[in-house]
Structure 1
Amino acid sequence: MSYDVVVAGGGPVGLMLACELRLGGASVVVLERLTEIDPTIKAGALTTPSVEALYRRGLLPALQEVQERAMELMKTFMSEHASAEGPRRIPPRFAGHFAGMMLSADLLDADDPDLSGRGPAAQIGLVPQQQLEQILAVRAAELGVEVRRGVEVTGFTDDGEQVTVTTTGGPVHGRWLVGCDGGRSTVRKPAGFEFPGTDPEITAYQAIAKMEGTEHLGVGWHATPTGIYSYGPVPGRILVARFDGGAPGRDGKTTPVATEELQEAVRHVTGSDVVVREITSVTRFTDNARQAATYRLGRVLLAGDAAHVHSPFGGQGLNLGLGDAVNLGWKLAAVVRGQAPEGLLDTYTRERHPIGAWVLDWTRAQIALMRPDAHARAARAVVADLIGTVTGTTYFVKKISGVWQRYDMPGGGGHPLVGRSVPDYEFEDGSRLADHLHDGRGLLVRRSGSGLDGTAVDGYGDRVATVTTTGGDPHFPGALLVRPDGVVAWAQDPGTTDSEGLANALETWFGTPAGVPAALR
């Protein structure tokens, strides 16, 4: 069979991309070498853009259920490690950390404008990667995505018209190939993507294990003379990082972590005689930081760790990949349907590459502050002082949460909302803006009396839905156009009319309207 898009890799990024492609009308197959979801402990939280993207597809209830279970595990751990003053209080929402310095939700300026208007998505954060993958697997099945597990990609050829993918299950043909197959991508290397970056300084371990002698370990993050560690916030969870140059010669993906290796690392970093009895789940990683120079070469594209690798500190990796998938999915589907030129795909690298570069530097900065040398520890103390202020905590939370993200987009009328994630406005019928984005189309929302009538999106009905509001949220502008990924493409303030700007934005992001003769396109 031949598909519009072949996705290599069936982790959260590959599944999210496949779901977006199917919503956009593309046929897609996902090829995943693993037969089951990888149970190895990985990312444990979602940032605001990730939650918003899932919320806009109707998945908020599933996320809420997962978070409730995660909170119960945290409560269990905290009650087992109660202090003399009583059980530790669990913050009502995830605040995060920077270089192992915890960010207190009590110091967060909740009135900061960048943190407002997020709606129910602002209350979600504690969603482990495996549970998210399960949610997306169910969603993919509902949408009719074909997922082939136990099938490994071994190579491919791109003849300019079609990509033929060779696999352990036979050849698969597609018009496009997207590598979502991780940092050691089998798609990136043969495609010829440059992958510059910086070499690792650390070897780190994250594990769920049965241990003895942990009574001397402090809960949370701690810097030591030999590295940094974190104990908790769920039973048996430990993370240690040592500065050894990235364990030369030790392959973190193919060499299993033995109990003795984990125990030695824990003792080296913590200084406690911890005994590791049994490992439930463990992963070894470094701070190798690299990014593809472009995310597209010919008919091959990259997303997630295939496009960028870095240390997981700050919980950015999974979320960066989900952002790639949401940005690329609707664009590639539009090109596949013939409703947009291939040039639309150029905006994928242009919009996502700067955010990926920022994440790499964000993680590098954390490594610099984790070093055990005197200069790094002095700088760490200065940053800790800043984090201990309302302004400092708010700054770091805004960066970690992703609410700062904005695409540099042409046109749009110059409105400050353009390029940003659309606020989750509430309408007079009780619905919220996210409720109108479930089907993956764009959305034009206009206030009555905005100067735009029902003909504003003539010819775009299959690509753009319309909502008219008579009052609702007082902060809502006169009108705005939202892309399928929830990014504002155009907006106008009350009392102004910019029909020409809207027409240009519609053509830029949604192609020419239906019914326009080919000679006039």
Structure 2
Amino acid sequence: MTKDAIVVGAGPVGLMLAGELRLGGADVAVYEKLPAPSGESRGVGFTRRAAEIFDQRQLLDRFGEVEWAQGHFGGVRIDFGKLDDNHFSVRGIPQFHTEEILEAWLRELGVTVHRNHEITGFRQNTDEVTVQFTGPDGAGEESARYLVGCDGARSLVRNLAGIDFPGWGATRGMYMADVVGSGVQPRPIGERVEGGMVMAFDLQNGVDRIVIHDENLRPHEDRSTLRFTDIADAWQRMTGESLHQAEVRWISSFTDTTRQASAYRAGRVFLAGDAAHIHMPAGAQGMSVGVQDAVNLGWKLAADITGWAPQGLLDTYHSERHPVGRMLMRNTRAQTRLYLSGAEMEPLRQVMGELVGIPEVARHLAGIVSGLDVRYDMGGATHPLAGLRMPPDQVLRRAGAGRVRIAELLHTGRPVLVVAESGAAGEATARCADGWADRVDVAVGTWDDAAAAGTGLPQSVLLRPDGYVAWAAPGSDSLPAALERWFGRPRSTVRAA
């Protein structure tokens, strides 16, 4: 066995997963069949939760100045500014730029991306997975304890693992183009026109992203036959504006095909990202949910590899993420019908427009598209925050160490026990984690008054490496039980964190 884990696919999901595994102490390799990054960008941003995840790993600042975008549900605008939590997504970040940032991070962590290496097969037994590949030097094999397919909608890993991919086939198609010098009217969340929908927005450095849904067009599964003239002709027919003079950078097409893997695990093989779920693009949810898959799976696999994972921890990847994928399928199908259907859907659009004016409805729909509504089952933890992500901008004041945001405490990818109680009670809570000092950090302080006002923050909170609340006080079972449930049995010999 030469590796702890092999990740197939060097898109954002595969790269993020490899980084998470390395942070957790695993020896990981990434295999990618393309000889070099394609430079293409089906995704052009990410949701609020994905932004928080990048922040948790000290990666968000690497994107530079970002554009925070308003949101919508199936074309019905939601006023994020009126909501208590921050649901604003990031727009205008080409996917290739996200991949560049993540690959640079992997180089810093010492992870190699093996480009021009195509996986051709694998075999697994109870102890390892052996991967066959072809590369610049010919055919080869490498073994690892685990294999993760992040290799897209047509995942070879999923197919060879025998995992079903049920769902719904294509019923409608869309065209996409990145152009320079288009001179078209901006339509950042799309505009319904007779016969379909058109969208145009500034992507980066004068490049416009053009998206077209023509109700008369058949789903275009074979991208090899698509020409820019098809896209430009459709745009002119639907808007009266001409794109024919524009400089073309990239063209593509996609459909509303919606499928989800029946299982996210088969023995020592796992799936994440598009290999596990595909759908019509809607607000950068696909890549963002895939990144969340990676961060959920990464620390759990690393825990198993390094020997401290409690029994059943790896099974929680499917039990936690499969329902999230199922809800993603439902919400993107609903948005597709609402957004792209014809005039017969207009009464429902009007009703939805009225409903989003109700704060509770707006919060619910915003949570769906931002990813902030995800809640996991944390067993005996009954605090209102249990199972939710801890707001990353909450500030802890530590004696002699200044102010620190929750996101900063998670930079190392380790679990964190935040103790915000003073006196003997706080000291006793902190001591509970002594047996887990080799894998759980402890941060002691008090909540910043300005940040904590009216938020109902817990006295103490146990955070998983993915930023979700595993335990909080008051209102949960015992802290040692929660520590053992998620982070294994305590060590008999304790070393300082």
Q: How high is the TM-score relative to the length of structure 1?
A: 0.85
Q: Distance in 2 between matches of 1:400 and 1:151?
A: 35
The alpha-carbon deviation at position 483 of structure 1 amounts to 0.5
Which amino acid letter does the alignment assign opposite residue 258 of structure 1? Answer: R
One-letter code aligned to 1:512: R
1:129 to 95, 105, 109: 95
Matched, 1:151 2:151: no
Instruction: Please name the residue that 2:390 is paired with.
Output: 422
1:459 corresponds to which residue?
A: 435
Instruction: State the distance in 1 between where 2:180 and 2:236 align.
Output: 15
Looking at structure 1, the residues matched to 291 and 190 of structure 2 have their Cα atoms a distance apart, in angstroms, of: 27
Question: Where does residue 17 of structure 1 map in the other structure?
Answer: 17
Contact kept? 1:200, 1:245, Cα under 8 Å: no
- In structure 2, what is the Cα distance between the partners aligned to 1:333 and 1:159? 19
* Structure 1: gaps (5+ residues): 72-92
Q: Is contact 1:426-1:432 (8 Å) kept?
A: yes
Selected match of 1:162 from 112, 125, 128: 128
For residues 406 and 386 of structure 2, the distance between their equivalents in structure 1, rounded to whole angstroms, comes to 16
**1:208/1:476 CA distance change after superposition, 3 Å:** same
Question: Which of 71, 74, 81 lines up with 1:96 in the alignment?
Answer: 71
1:364-513 superposed matches below 5 A = 364-387=333-356, 393-412=362-381, 414-424=382-392, 425-428=394-397, 429-446=402-419, 447-449=421-423, 450-451=425-426, 452-470=428-446, 472-473=448-449, 474=452, 475-493=456-474, 501-513=478-490
Distance of 2:446 and 2:180 partners within structure 1: 59
| Number of the residue aligned with 1:359 | 328
Q: Residues 157 and 268 (structure 1 numbering): CA distance in 2 closer, same or farther, change over 3 Å?
A: farther
Partner of 1:241: 213
C-alpha separation in 2, matches of 1:228 and 1:479: 49
RMSD: 2.5
Distance 1:441 1:377 in 2: 49
Change (3 A) 1:481 1:385: same
* SS in structure 2 at match of 1:445: strand
Distance 2:266 2:187 in 1: 48
Partner residue of 2:228?
259
Check whether the contact 2:195–2:342 (CA below 8 A) recurs between aligned residues: no
* Distance (whole Å) between structure 2 residues aligned to residue 349 and residue 49 of structure 1: 19
What secondary structure sits across from 1:236 in the alignment? strand
Length-normalised TM-score, structure 2: 0.89
Query: Residue 187 of structure 2 contacts residue 201 of structure 2 at CA under 8 Å; is this kept in 1?
Result: no
Matched to 1:44, the amino acid is V
Cross-structure match for 2:56: 56
- 1:81: which partner in 2? none
After superposition, the Cα gap between the structure-2 partners of 1:332 and 1:185, relative to the gap in structure 1 and judged at 3 Å, is: same
Cα distance in 1 between the residues matched to 2:448 and 2:79:
34
Partner of 1:76: none
1:33–1:150 contact (8 Å) kept in structure 2:
yes
1:179-190 map, 5 Å: 179-190=149-160
2:285 equivalent in structure 1: 316
Higher strand share: 2
Equivalent of 1:336 in 305, 317, 342:
305
| Contact 1:152/1:167 (8 A) holds in 2 | yes
Q: 1:103-159: CA deviations, max 9, x gaps?
A: 455xx314x2xx16x9xxx68565332221111111111111121011111111112
Q: Which amino acid aligns with 1:128?
A: P
Task: Provide Cα deviations, 1:72-109, integer angstroms capped at 9, x if missing partner.
Answer: xxxxxxxxxxxxxxxxxxxxx3112322344455xx31
Deviations 1:373-413 (A, max 9, x none): 3422332232234346666554433321122111122122x
Q: How has the CA–CA distance of structure 1 residues 256 and 145 changed in structure 2, closer, same or farther, with 3 Å as cutoff?
A: farther
Structure 2 counterparts to residues 110-121 of structure 1, below 5 A? 110=83, 112=84, 115=85
Q: Displacement of 1:274 after TM fit? A: 4.1
Q: How far did residue 484 of structure 1 move?
A: 0.7
* Mean CA deviation greater in 194-203 or 39-48: 39-48
CA distance in 1, matches of 2:383, 2:359: 29
1:299 pairs with 2:265: no
- Aligned amino acid, residue 82 of structure 2: D
Q: 1:390 to 1:501 in 2, by over 3 A?
A: closer
Distance 2:170 2:114 in 1: 34
Q: How far apart are 1:476 and its partner, in Å? A: 3.2
Aligned length: 474
Q: Is the 8 A contact 1:179 1:301 kept in 2?
A: yes
Q: CA deviation at 1:213?
A: 7.5
The whole-number CA distance in structure 2 between the counterparts of 1:127 and 1:394 is 25
Inter-CA distance 244–195: structure 2 relative to 1 (3 Å threshold): farther
Q: Are the structure 2 counterparts of residues 244 and 144 from structure 1 closer, same or farther at C-alpha, using a change threshold of 3 Å?
A: farther
How far apart, in 2, do the equivalents of 1:411 and 1:392 lie? Answer: 29
Question: Which amino acid counterpart does residue 74 of structure 2 have in structure 1?
Answer: A
- In structure 2, relative to structure 1, the CA distance for the partners of 1:476 and 1:133 (3 Å cut) is same
What are structure 2's unaligned runs of at least 5 residues? none
Which has the larger displacement, 299-308 or 376-385?
Answer: 376-385
Distance change >3 Å, CA 391–CA 159, structure 1 → 2? closer
Contact 2:260–2:276 under 8 Å retained in 1? yes
Does the aligned pair in 1 maintain the 2:89–2:370 contact within 8 Å?
no
Q: Could you tell me whether the CA contact under 8 Å between 1:227 and 1:370 is conserved in 2?
A: no
Shift in Å, 1:367: 1.5
Distance 1:194 1:133, change over 3 A: same
Q: Deviations over 1:301-328 (max 9, x none)?
A: 0000000000112220010100000000
Contact residue 246 and residue 286 of structure 1 kept, 8 A: no
Partner of 2:471, secondary structure, is strand
CA distance in 2: counterparts of 1:62 and 1:189, whole angstroms: 36
> 2:335 & 2:214 partners in 1: Cα distance?
14
Match of 1:289 among 250, 258, 264: 258
